[in-house]
């Protein structure tokens, strides 16, 4: 299937990344399911895609390790003949007031969220074919300034900056570069460490009065990664139900 678009999705073994991988597969793209450590979950995603008639392989990579990331893209070349779409959904979250933040947690989070995003963006810039798309994952907290999210928002602010600059650096390549910035989304990562009162309060913030779902975010990413999103470039799309 020489004309089939090929997507590399990181953080694809769970949560938003998993739904992005399956959504892209439903749209007809072959998918490399990138995962950090949970091989079983990644293989489940591959099985789900192939059972529905799609094409997918799993590939392990630490997104902050340039050798791992090169091997991840090599896996796409070997399995499907190249890369057209890259969605970087791998991320780490640590919540704490800035005054109480453990700096080891800060370093771990920034290694994945900043260095990892940069390594993925660098390899994508080198390898994505003409007509392709690069989609990074940010967070609406960059604009919403929720207390406790200082370090996380700072890391994602860096992602937004590199996204907008990369879009301009790829002038003439016919490759779009955008970011999706989810609001509160019902994933395992979101629910971890939050009590029911906090969850209910966050769910009531959007005018739509609910949490986002992984599918809500995946559909935006799929639009940016597909032919319909070709005229959207160098943008951060805040997919948060209208939180102001």
Q: Which residues of 7-22 are buried (b: 16+ CB within 10 A; e: fewer)?
A: bbbbbbbbbbbbbbbb
Which residue in the list 152, 156, 184, 236 is annotated as catalytic? 152
Spatial strand order of the sheet with 176-182 comes to: 56-60, 30-35, 6-10, 85-88, 133-137, 176-182, 236-239
DSSP annotation of 159 reads H
Count the Cβ atoms, other than its own, within 10 Å of residue 52.
11
Is residue 149 annotated as a catalytic residue, yes or no?
Answer: no
Distance, CA of 183 to CA of 205 (rounded, Å)? 10
For residue 212, what is the enclosing H or E element? Answer: none
CA angle 196, 202, 208 (to 5 degrees): 125
Residues labelled as active-site residues: 152
């Amino acid at each position: 299937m020489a004309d089939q678009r090929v997507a590399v999705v990181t953080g694809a073994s769970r949560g938003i990344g998993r739904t992005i991988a399956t959504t892209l597969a439903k749209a007809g793209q072959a998918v490399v399911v990138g995962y950090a450590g949970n091989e079983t979950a990644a293989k489940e995603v591959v099985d789900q895609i192939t059972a529905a008639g799609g094409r997918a392989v799993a590939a392990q990579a630490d997104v902050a390790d340039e050798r791992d990331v090169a091997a991840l893209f090599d896996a796409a070349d070997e399995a499907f003949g190249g890369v057209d779409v890259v969605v970087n959904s791998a991320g780490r979250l640590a919540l704490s007031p800035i005054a109480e933040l453990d700096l080891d947690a800060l370093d771990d989070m920034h290694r994945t969220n900043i260095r990892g995003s940069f390594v993925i963006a660098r390899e994508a810039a080198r390898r994505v074919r003409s007509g392709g798309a690069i989609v990074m994952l940010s967070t609406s907290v960059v604009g919403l300034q929720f207390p406790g999210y200082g370090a996380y928002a700072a890391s994602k602010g860096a992602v937004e900056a590199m996204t907008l600059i990369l879009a301009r650096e790829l002038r003439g390549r016919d490759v779009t570069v955008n970011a999706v910035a989810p609001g509160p989304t019902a994933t395992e990562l979101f629910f971890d460490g939050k009590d029911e009162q906090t969850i209910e309060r966050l769910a009531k913030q959007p005018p739509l009065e609910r949490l986002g779902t992984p599918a809500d975010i995946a559909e935006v990413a799929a639009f940016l990664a597909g032919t319909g999103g070709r005229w959207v470039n160098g943008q951060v799309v805040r997919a948060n139900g209208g939180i102001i």
